[in-house]
Structure 1
């Protein structure tokens, strides 16, 4: 029997799952004695069944299957989907005591007992946590980092940590890929500015075979190539990184959730997928262009140096790390 049912967004991509992890972690902290069931329209169970705070995963595409995945005895539901009326109807049919969902100025908004206004200018992972803040206030950055530090526990000490992480992927296509050649040029600029002893870890996925071959051909001692890493291994790689620079891709949300200095390179402003904070910057093409490769490495360097050199940036990162560390070492469940 599932006590808490979570409907994740009806998307199948890597990043869509990663941004849900902190919210699921907080659900288990709010209700530590309850069974948590995640429901998705897609076959993404591997992302969720590996999480220690998810008890069940159910794939349910048709409405009738989603009704069956939502037990009558559930005490709460969390709907991370932003717009579809079907999830409001599901909650209306099952009527758990607590029904959390996004307010979109739709008829179904009246179903929610707790809601957060959906705003496309707000990072999706943050919006999920703010929805849960209607149950109990919390520090979203500390919760996000704490979540990923829990994920990394099984491989603690098994992955060599990175200094500077570069993520040149972009699963939706070339329009999201600031080229690996630009990343190498950026590495050269950073090497000069930071004293010449930096090591760059390039995170590569199965679609980056050409990029991997080119980087291997360079045979540079200051480059490490990381391919085929699991989510936990990527967390271990990035958790104490001095800097993460990434295209808009799935693994970028691990870096953002870890709350380390971060620079995102985008083909256009995309605040739903960029978590703006003191220690983060986004870089987009000049006005009138959507060509991501029109962004010169020197502009990305400026953003990198801003997050590395700003004392406010460093103090914000330190605050989040300390808050997450205190909570992990004093695991008192939150009380809903």
Structure 2
């Protein structure tokens, strides 16, 4: 069997990570299938790196006619379209006459392009659940984002906390390193049974290495530089608590429903984090979102005391 999947036109690490549950579930439903991703960005190769797909076709420069011809040429048995915002892709799938085609969008006119169609509005659920909703509807199943845990072998639980101070989109997403260090120290003092404090550092946080100490209140510190997906999953599954900015790796922790405190910033004086959170914050029993004070509209107006109080309460639950 040969399956094509069109993915959203979003190249960022976090965007691609939220597609992982769909592909894990797809492989579970079609274990012998060859799965090809249709993407406009080379960053989708991340899906190849974790063996979630078989191959990738970059169609960024394809005209509509070229797109239809190539879809016909590949002779797919099934096409799934997660790229809800492209009329061009919806129409190309219709004209390619694929044996089975499934897609979703918020425009009911697109239903005429598919054998099974799901009407789905943006901003009403976590983005990974939006992707999974299509497969769950088609196959009458109930996959959840936590299916990504199947990418690794079982992890031994460790009494560690993990801090994710990244924020590649800009300083408005970065709770300061000084705040993180102060929070780590207070948590280590008041929760003395910790075995390690993990720090997840991306390329933009490389300079933190010389500032973060090797121990915090005698708790060993472990630095993880640009960990891959498998390593992130392992860290998440072994974390008793994580504190994170809204950054790409945080999605792994969210999707695995790790006890998590996320810190959200204002992009400017008019753009609040609340609209972003509708799709990018995954709410579950042990997830918490902290936003800046309304008056300051700055992520660093979130006090260390506020974060620590919540963190310590969570650790005692």
Instruction: Tell me the TM-score range normalised by the shorter chain.
Output: 0.7 to 0.9
Partner of 1:253: 251
Please tell me whether residue 234 in structure 1 is matched to residue 232 in structure 2.
Answer: yes
When normalised by structure 2's length, the TM-score is: 0.86
What is aligned with 1:296?
303
Check conservation: 1:43, 1:59, Cα contact below 8 A. Answer: yes
Structure 1 residues 86 and 241, CA gap change in structure 2 (3 angstroms): same
Match of 2:3 in 1: 4
Moved more, 266-275 or 192-201: 192-201
How many angstroms does 1:209 deviate by? Answer: 2.0
Post-superposition offset of 1:109: 4.1
Q: Which runs of 5+ in 1 are unaligned?
A: 311-336
User: What is the CA RMSD across the aligned residues, in angstroms?
Assistant: 2.5
Distance 1:308 1:40 in 2: 41
* Corresponding residue to 2:130 among 117, 127, 131: 127
Q: Secondary structure at the match of 1:52?
A: coil
Determine if contact 1:116/1:130 at 8 Å carries over to the other structure. Answer: no
What is the alpha-carbon distance in structure 1 between the residues aligned to residue 193 and residue 27 of structure 2? 44
Are residues 97 and 200 of structure 1, via their aligned partners in 2, closer, same or farther at CA, if it must alter by over 3 Å?
A: same
1:88–1:109 Cα contact (<8 Å) kept:
no
Kindly provide the CA deviation profile for residues 29-65 of structure 1, in whole angstroms up to 9, marking residues without a partner as x. 1222221101110112430112334111111202335
Question: Which residue of the partner structure matches residue 184 of structure 2?
Answer: 187
TM-score (ref. length: structure 1): 0.81
Aligned length: 302
Greater strand percent: which structure?
Answer: 2
Q: Which residue of 1 aligns with 2:206?
A: 209
Check the 8 A contact 2:126/2:280 in 1, yes or no.
yes
Q: Following the alignment from structure 2 to structure 1, what is the Cα–Cα distance between the partners of residues 157 and 238?
A: 11
Which residue matches 2:54? 55
Gapped regions of structure 2 (runs ≥ 5): 266-272
1:15 aligns with 2:18: no
Per the alignment, in what secondary structure is the counterpart of residue 211 of structure 2?
helix
**CA 1:149/1:29 → structure 2, altered by over 3 Å: closer, same or farther?**
closer
Q: Deviations over 1:127-186 (max 9, x none)?
A: 111221112344443xx3332332x24xx78x9967111000011111111111111121
Aligned position for 1:146: 147
Question: 2:209 and 2:164 mapped to 1: Cα distance?
Answer: 12
User: Residues 256, 31 of structure 1: CA spacing in aligned structure 2 closer, same or farther, 3 A cutoff?
Assistant: same
Return the alpha-carbon distance in structure 2 between the equivalents of residues 137 and 91 of structure 1. 23
Matched with 1:82 is: 84
